[in-house]
Structure 1
Amino acid sequence: MFDHLVDDNGLKPVMKQHGLVLPEDLDFIKEQIAGPQDTKAWQYKGRPEDKSFLYEIVANKRNGIDVDKWDYFARDCYHLGIQNNFDYRRFLKFARVCEVDGQKHICTRDKEVGNLYDMFHTRNCLHRRAYQHKVGNIIETMITEAFLKADPHIQIEGSGGKIFTLSTAIDDMEAYSKLTDHVFEQILHSSSVELAEARQILRNIICRRLYKCLGQTQAEKPLHEMIHNWEAELAQTIPQSGAYDVNLKPEDFVVNVIVMDYGMKEKNPVNNVRFYCKDDPTTAIQIRKNQVSKLLPEQFAEELIRVYCKKTDDKSMDAAKKHFVQWCMNKNFSKPQVTFICCSVENCTIM
């Protein structure tokens, strides 16, 4: 996409006027966004290995401390009214470059380790309270369903006049750049018979007729099984109180698995940060979690399982919630948190 934007807008002459060296600086910009994943050997083209610390500024794959994160922290905490406990100005004040295992990395003062844990905690709070909110997630799911149903019936012209669908437009940047919010409006206001199902889903979103969240649970261990079978399991589960006069099918359920972590899956990202001491600012050291506080988390990732029901009438919802509770018990998942339920099942928590 970056190459397409540069070529489409004729930016190379402008870049040269401003002192950029091509193609090295173009490669550097692209590598800042998404560089090689293998860090064992130096694979970057934009800068030599003695400038390795420059790749930790925009999108830091070493430990996740970068300006991209600081930017959305400031923006989203402000608009959501969530306290941002991380002061990026203080981090910049104490940042310096030190050599670690033959490469130069951005390090910070040893006394700042607690502030870094606050930063990752803020990230987790934003995901828990906003980015992975149950209503936002189900709206994403419903939009995805609508787009999948509309996919064969929407044509987008790409380079050379070639025609693409919503799902194939990513293979052509000219076509992909046309996938703006107008696609949603195009489906919503269409009169095409082929788009009727997709149109109805989007109308349901606009009118707030959303799939209802039955509740949330957790597995004791990370999930490695295929979750696409879970909808069928939910429909086939018979509650202890007996079956209901409601015909629930696999397609009536939606299962979302949400991963909450500190940005590096189950790993502690602070273990990949190096620090320096006031008395020896040129030597990089590592600070372990047990040297900081006993109140820090023992685990740095968890998987939440949310289940929704597409049928929203009271009778179906009551039956679906009991299916969900029994299903959690059968799979030895944690006691489910449900939004509302009237039943006698002991392993049910009222919220």
Structure 2
Amino acid sequence: MGCRCSRCCGCAKRASQDPNGRVLKPSAPDLKKAELMDSSTTGEANRKRDAEEAEAAAEGYKTPDNKAKRPKWAPQTLHDFLHTHGQGLSNLQHLEEQLRNNGVHELHTLVRLAETPSQLESLCKNFCKIDEGDTQLLKKLLTTDAARDQKRGDLADWLGRHGLLHLEEQLQKVSLPDRREGIFTLDDARQLQAMLRTQSRQDRDDCLSAIVHPVDRCRFSDLLGSIPPRQSDKTFRIVSDRIYDSMSFDRELFSFIDTPQVQRLRRLKQLGACHLVYPGAVHTRFEHSLGVAYLSKIAFENLVMKSGVSVTDVEVQRLVRLLQIAGVCHDLGHGPYSHTFEHAFVHRHLGLKEWCHEDMSLKLFEYLIDNNTTAGEVIDALNGRTTVKEMIEGIDPTQHRVVGDHPIFALERAAYDIVNNKRNGLDTDKMDYLQRDASTSPNSLPKYNPGRLLRFATVMPDGEICYNSKEVPAVAELVQTRFRLFKILYTHRKTLAFEAMKTDALFQASKALGLRRIIEEKDCEGYLHLTDNIDDIIRQRQDSFCDPGIQRAKELFRRIDCRNIYRFVAEYVFDKKEDIQLCENLGVDELNELIAKGAGVCPSDIVVDMSKIHHGSKDKNPLDFVGFYTETAGEGGVPYAVKIEGEAEKRNLISGAHTKSRWQELRLLVLIKEQDENKFDAVQNAFNSILRHKLHVTDAMVVGQRTPMSATPHQRTPEIGRLPLHPHAQEQRPTDLLPPVRTHDGQFRQASS
């Protein structure tokens, strides 16, 4: 018959494993050994005892004379305790009525009260009116024999209810730290569970084989995993949050949170320079990282419960801890000014095209666990260095294929898609920042709540996270919210101007600060000081008279403080695939050169920004990469999930949820650094010409104000709006572009031609 559990990593279906504990293939010798053991005398005796217990339970524990009989594993009752210890001693039987009249009906209540002697004495003296002699005797018995019997009764009750009562004697021989000889209690089982949680699967199997018979090993392992951990105020901490109200974390996670590498995230704004346009956009990457850790735990535990696996399972608890660590550490590699630091400063100004913040995050994670002893001990106990790095980086859908039938193997694969999902981008990182960034201006920005979507997610046997087919609109809303936030918030034209100024200032000061060396060599110690506080470091430098770069950087920061920012000249949005490709082939640097040459200005006088905005899957429909399922009734009416595989069926499912024909767009935006009207007009005309001749654009572009906003009202020229693309656009100036004139009543009106 083999092992009596359904888990394929057990003794009857024992599988050989690689060094990381992953199952590779069944082991024939172990199958043979399990079959022999199962047919042995010990196995037959165990099954016979279990059958007797089940039969006794079915009969209601009745004796031949039809009197109720307590099951073997039931703990001692209050009545039995008082009558047993009342013989030959002070007559304790009379205490039963007094205790019951005052609300004490169970022996374990007295045992708990005896742990605090003052409470027991108060009960006996003030309520039950028990004399001093009986009180002292009762206290003595409760703190010795009764407590031991009660704890052993709890263990026997726990084993007996799961058909493993015969293991009690074997467990009494287990050696654990700080355990009283001869007494193995339920608390000891919790300690054993915690000890096994820190070991690999192979080590756990070996340890359990030394404790219990191999036939019972897998059932006992599952039983250990079902013990709810004892919670107290010292096992978790509560963190207040603007999105989730309050978040609960295990205290061991703070061995990572309370490190210089993670605390550095407090000094990095999530949205870079957006706070200069939206004053409420001041939340940090620290808040976001805690939110991802919290949401990852919720998401994974929902998947676990849907799979029918206990949330307290040893492997589940290990994966939850690793996911929270990955959530906390996934943004360690970000620099100041959010993504602008990487794309504009590192790639364009420094020319380090291969550098990316994801690699720096992994580098800093290694640096964290190597330089913080407690964090290193925690991650090594969980055997999770490689796992956490793969969770942060994300893995290809073809990696780590599921090799077992038990749901835990599918959950292990799904865990890699929680923080960073390479299949379709639906991960807790995105779900958190969409909520958090929208809270910047809750009445004007699109909102999204992923709670419902997470509740209707499940894991398929191949490890893919799929969503109920009725949640197609919810998925479509998520990707649309991302697109709208990019359009409205992340690529706001004034935000881009502020970011360009900050990046230029950082580049001017980079030589004096040695930034190229830090970034190029991935110097973790130096990188810890690269935060948004670098603005103040540059402002406070006293060597500006020696270093012209520092002086120019200070001038740029002074302009930012006075809101004298780079001026928006014009922009154009491409949404056709061939136009986007043509624009990308030219590149930002070549466009900058062409515009500068056409306008007769220096290339450093203008800024060309090329922003690609899409729904998460570039030019493809993001819903094509999301798996959906329907529920089908199985045996006994129990529903189970079936993935929608057919191309036509899935196409019909998602066709009504999203009707866009183009899924990405590219925006070309031009800024000018100087407040010069002649240069402004020249750059605008040059950009107009390049759009018409190089990029074959025939419609209008959006142009900016000709006069700076700092000008007085009678000096301003109204915003041009859309400028027609024809060769003599500036010569054929429309009437509404003439300067306004003041009327006799002090008001301004548009001049007539």
Q: TM-score range by the shorter chain?
A: 0.7 to 0.9
Q: Aligned residue for 1:127?
A: 486
Q: What are the residue-to-residue correspondences of 1:201-220 with 2, within 5 Å? A: 201-219=556-574, 220=579
Relative to structure 1, the CA distance from residue 168 to residue 269 in structure 2 (aligned partners, 3 Å threshold; closer, same or farther) is farther
1:178 Cα offset (Å): 1.6
Q: Aligned residue for 2:700?
A: 335
Q: Aligned residue for 1:88?
A: 450
Q: What are the residue-to-residue correspondences of 1:27-176 with 2, within 5 Å? A: 27-36=386-395, 38-42=396-400, 51-81=412-442, 82-99=444-461, 103-154=462-513, 165-170=514-519, 171-176=522-527
Q: Aligned residue for 1:282?
A: 641
2:625 maps to 1:272: yes
Using the alignment, how far apart are the partners of 2:410 and 2:453 within structure 1?
24
Using the alignment, how far apart are the partners of 1:297 and 1:289 within structure 2?
15
1:136 Cα offset (Å): 1.3
2:384 maps to 1:21: no
Count residues in correspondence.
Answer: 323
Using the alignment, how far apart are the partners of 1:345 and 1:7 within structure 2?
59
Q: Aligned residue for 2:349?
A: none
Q: Contact 2:435–2:449 at 8 Å: present in 1 too?
A: no
Q: Aligned residue for 1:159?
A: none
1:179 to 521, 527, 530: 530
Q: Aligned residue for 2:167?
A: none
Using the alignment, how far apart are the partners of 2:401 and 2:369 within structure 1?
23
Using the alignment, how far apart are the partners of 1:345 and 1:207 within structure 2?
30
2:542 maps to 1:191: yes
1:249 Cα offset (Å): 2.4
Relative to structure 1, the CA distance from residue 48 to residue 295 in structure 2 (aligned partners, 3 Å threshold; closer, same or farther) is closer
1:167 Cα offset (Å): 2.3
Q: Contact 1:114–1:292 at 8 Å: present in 2 too?
A: no
Using the alignment, how far apart are the partners of 1:98 and 1:124 within structure 2?
29
Using the alignment, how far apart are the partners of 1:98 and 1:283 within structure 2?
8
Q: Aligned residue for 2:368?
A: 5
Q: Provide, for residues 247-283 of structure 1, a one-character-per-residue CA deviation record: whole Å limited to 9, x for no partner.
A: 5222222110001011222222211111111336432
1:233 Cα offset (Å): 1.2
2:612 maps to 1:259: yes
Quick one: percent identity of the two aligned structures? 26
Q: Aligned residue for 1:243?
A: none
Using the alignment, how far apart are the partners of 1:121 and 1:48 within structure 2?
33
- The answer to which structure has the higher helix fraction is 2
1:146 Cα offset (Å): 1.5
Q: Aligned residue for 1:303?
A: 666
Secondary structure of the 2:508 match is helix
Query: Aligned AA for 1:321?
Result: Q
Secondary structure of the 2:569 match is strand
Q: Contact 1:218–1:304 at 8 Å: present in 2 too?
A: yes
Relative to structure 1, the CA distance from residue 290 to residue 277 in structure 2 (aligned partners, 3 Å threshold; closer, same or farther) is closer
1:43 Cα offset (Å): 9.3
Relative to structure 1, the CA distance from residue 123 to residue 277 in structure 2 (aligned partners, 3 Å threshold; closer, same or farther) is same
Secondary structure of the 1:96 match is strand
1:104 Cα offset (Å): 1.1
Judge which range, 89-98 or 287-296, deviates more.
Answer: 287-296
1:8 Cα offset (Å): 2.5
Query: Aligned AA for 1:346?
Result: P
Q: Provide, for residues 280-317 of structure 1, a one-character-per-residue CA deviation record: whole Å limited to 9, x for no partner.
A: 64321152277432852112111110011112233332
Using the alignment, how far apart are the partners of 1:149 and 1:135 within structure 2?
21
Relative to structure 1, the CA distance from residue 201 to residue 264 in structure 2 (aligned partners, 3 Å threshold; closer, same or farther) is same
Q: Contact 2:571–2:669 at 8 Å: present in 1 too?
A: yes
Relative to structure 1, the CA distance from residue 198 to residue 153 in structure 2 (aligned partners, 3 Å threshold; closer, same or farther) is same
Relative to structure 1, the CA distance from residue 152 to residue 345 in structure 2 (aligned partners, 3 Å threshold; closer, same or farther) is closer
Q: Contact 1:253–1:308 at 8 Å: present in 2 too?
A: yes
Query: Aligned AA for 1:202?
Result: F
Q: What are the residue-to-residue correspondences of 1:215-226 with 2, within 5 Å? A: 215-219=570-574, 220-222=579-581, 223-226=584-587
Relative to structure 1, the CA distance from residue 84 to residue 279 in structure 2 (aligned partners, 3 Å threshold; closer, same or farther) is farther
1:327 Cα offset (Å): 2.5
Relative to structure 1, the CA distance from residue 130 to residue 275 in structure 2 (aligned partners, 3 Å threshold; closer, same or farther) is same
Using the alignment, how far apart are the partners of 2:394 and 2:657 within structure 1?
36
Secondary structure of the 2:585 match is coil
Using the alignment, how far apart are the partners of 2:483 and 2:569 within structure 1?
23
Q: Aligned residue for 1:242?
A: none
Relative to structure 1, the CA distance from residue 136 to residue 145 in structure 2 (aligned partners, 3 Å threshold; closer, same or farther) is same
Query: Aligned AA for 2:605?
Result: D
Name the TM-score, length of structure 2 as normaliser: 0.40
Using the alignment, how far apart are the partners of 2:688 and 2:389 within structure 1?
48
1:248 to 601, 610, 617: 601
**Structure 2: runs of 5 or more not aligned:** 1-363, 403-407, 634-639, 707-716, 738-753
Q: Which has the higher contact order (CA 8 A, sep 6+)?
A: 1
Q: Provide, for residues 317-338 of structure 1, a one-character-per-residue CA deviation record: whole Å limited to 9, x for no partner.
A: 2332222222222222352111
Q: What RMSD in Å do the two structures reach over aligned CA positions? A: 2.9
Q: Provide, for residues 131-152 of structure 1, a one-character-per-residue CA deviation record: whole Å limited to 9, x for no partner.
A: 1111112222222221222111
Secondary structure of the 2:516 match is coil
Using the alignment, how far apart are the partners of 2:370 and 2:489 within structure 1?
37
Using the alignment, how far apart are the partners of 1:9 and 1:50 within structure 2?
30
1:97 Cα offset (Å): 0.8
Judge which range, 182-191 or 281-290, deviates more.
Answer: 281-290
Using the alignment, how far apart are the partners of 2:485 and 2:427 within structure 1?
16
Name the TM-score, length of structure 1 as normaliser: 0.82
1:83 Cα offset (Å): 4.9
Q: Contact 1:253–1:309 at 8 Å: present in 2 too?
A: yes
